[in-house]
Copies of this chain bind each other. A is one copy, B any other.
């Protein structure tokens, strides 16, 4: 039985993991609790959704990452509540675990602006499961179009809609355009995949709105070069099976992906702390919750203003810095030193758009296109956790670059799901007649 102060970390994302690393080998007993057994390298999740990488290449077992840290225990479990007075954390099965210090780093999900029913029609991208589901929808849409074309002899429109022009929306839209125009074009014989349309709807007047305006404009041009139709000042006001409403106009589409809105983990409210509209907990300058100096909230769950008045952005470097900082403040307490206030160090930002297309603003230097893309590539490979993953990712990228192939094009799920999808996309089962299969010659399918 340990006499050391116990720190419970909730969440094994960038924030929780960096906190754990900072506490490794220190005079504390650490318990890290996550409902997944793996840490996900979120910045590359869209590459799983678009079949360049496999889930195993961007996710790594949390206990493997921390296996050398003798004072850290990793527990698979879902935290369902807290008792700040009794200083306990409640797990899914009702078990309560006591703490001396608590770091809550459970992240955020996408929000549907109060229309949670849309999630069924328009999945977002936060977990490995989300990525596999999005991959399934993208490639299933092509399969269903091929099947219909082979049976009926005509190609119906194939539309992809991405809602939101932030980094994830831009990455997804660019990648789907590449899939339709390059990766699949030789594999489908009844349909011409290059005719698929990719539409990106962004409510504000520019994509990647956190970047300088000139970079946003470049990003829009680069997206358009890839074949994405970028619609600015366009709010999606409703989503139904097979169509989205933008303003007053309904647009038919086979796949809708959701890449906007942020809702912090409901664990912020479970703390009974004051939160902003997105559910983020207002934290003190030392990252602790007002009234509970032993409780820290970090990463996408925390709401904190920088000295210049801007909020600390919900990006992975901020989560990592907060993780390290909260851990250091705990260690300061233990040593009897004063805590320090958190100060976000912005090392620059970049966003990738597609093959040889990106924007970057690092150390005050703005670049676009190939240079920004190479920079993005280099940084992300260097950052990937675990040598083995880094190597496999590099190999897959190199291969995808050379061949323009997307190898991880698995549609998983059972036959029922396929039938559901067919009915979902076709409206109702086809009439029971004997079809004469007709091969659609690509030259013959040109539409004016």
Measured CB to CB, the residues of A under 8 A from B are: 1-2, 6, 29, 31, 35-38, 51, 54-57, 59-61, 63-64, 67, 70, 73-78, 86, 88, 92-98, 128-129, 132, 139-140, 143-144, 146-147, 150-151, 186-190, 386, 388-389, 391-392, 395-396, 399, 403, 405, 407-415, 418-419, 422-423, 426, 429-439
- Say whether B129 contacts A413, CB under 8 Å: yes
| Count of this chain's copies in the oligomeric assembly | 2
A416 to chain B minimum Cβ distance, whole angstroms, is: 9
Judging by beta carbons under 8 Å apart, are A187 and B67 in contact? yes
In whole angstroms, what is the CA distance A282 to B57 when docked?
45
Q: Hey, which chain B residues are within 8 Å of A414, CB to CB?
A: 129
Closest residue of chain B to A68, judged by CB? B186
Residues of B close to A147: CB separation below 8 A: 75-77
* Chain B neighbourhood of A88, CB < 8 A: 434
Q: Which B residues are CB-close (under 8 A) to A395? A: 391-392, 395
Question: How many angstroms from the CA of A143 to the CA of B77 in the assembled complex?
Answer: 9
Q: Which residues of B contact A151 (CB under 8 A)?
A: 95, 97
CA distance A97 to B96 in the complex (A): 60
Given the known A-B contacts A2-B439, A55-B54, A396-B392, are A64 and B409 also in contact in the complex, defined by CB atoms under 8 Å? yes
Which of A395, A408, A430 lies at the interface centre, i.e. has the most chain B CB atoms within 10 A of its CB? A408
What is the CB-to-nearest-CB distance from A194 to chain B, in angstroms, rounded to a whole number? 15
Contact of A73 among B61, B150, B388 (CB under 8 A): B150
Contact of A35 among B51, B415, B429, B437 (CB under 8 A): B415
Further contacts, 11 of them, CB under 8 A, given A64-B187, A94-B431: A29-B439, A37-B139, A54-B54, A59-B410, A63-B188, A78-B418, A93-B430, A129-B412, A129-B414, A391-B395, A395-B395
Residues of B within 8 A of A392 (CB): 392, 395-396
Give Cα A255 to B215, complex, Å.
Answer: 54
User: Do residues B78 and A415 form an inter-chain contact, with CB atoms below 8 A?
Assistant: yes
Contacts of A186 in B (CB 8 A): 67
Rounded to whole Å, the gap between the CB of A11 and the closest CB of chain B is 13
A381 to B187, CA, bound (A): 25
B residues within 8 A CB of A92? Answer: 415, 418-419, 422
A76-B143 in contact given A37-B411, A93-B426 (Cβ < 8 Å): yes
Cβ-defined contact, A429 with B37, below 8 A = no
The answer on a CB contact under 8 Å between B435 and A95 is yes
Cα–Cα distance between A431 and B90 once the two chains are bound (Å): 12
Q: Is A63 in contact with B439, judged by CB distance below 8 angstroms? A: no
| CB-based contact A411/B96 at 8 Å | no
Residue of B whose beta carbon sits closest to that of A93? B429
Q: How far is the CB of A260 from chain B (nearest CB, A)?
A: 23
| With known contacts A37-B139, A150-B73, A412–B55 Cβ distance under 8 A | yes
**A437 CB to nearest B CB, Å:** 6
A143 to B64, CA, bound (A): 12
Contacts of A433 in B (CB 8 A): 95-96
Kindly list chain B residues whose C-beta atoms are within 8 Å of the C-beta of A423: 93
On chain B, the residues within 8 Å of A144 by CB distance are: 76
The 3 closest A-B pairs by CB, nearest first: A56-B408, A54-B54, A76-B143
Residues of B contacting A56 with CB < 8 Å?
A: 51, 54, 407-410
Contact A187 B412 (CB under 8 A): no
**Residues from chain B with Cβ under 8 Å of A413 in the complex:** 129
Instruction: Give 14 CB contacts A-B under 8 Å.
Output: A37-B409, A54-B54, A64-B409, A73-B439, A76-B144, A76-B147, A76-B418, A78-B419, A92-B419, A95-B432, A128-B412, A129-B412, A388-B407, A392-B396
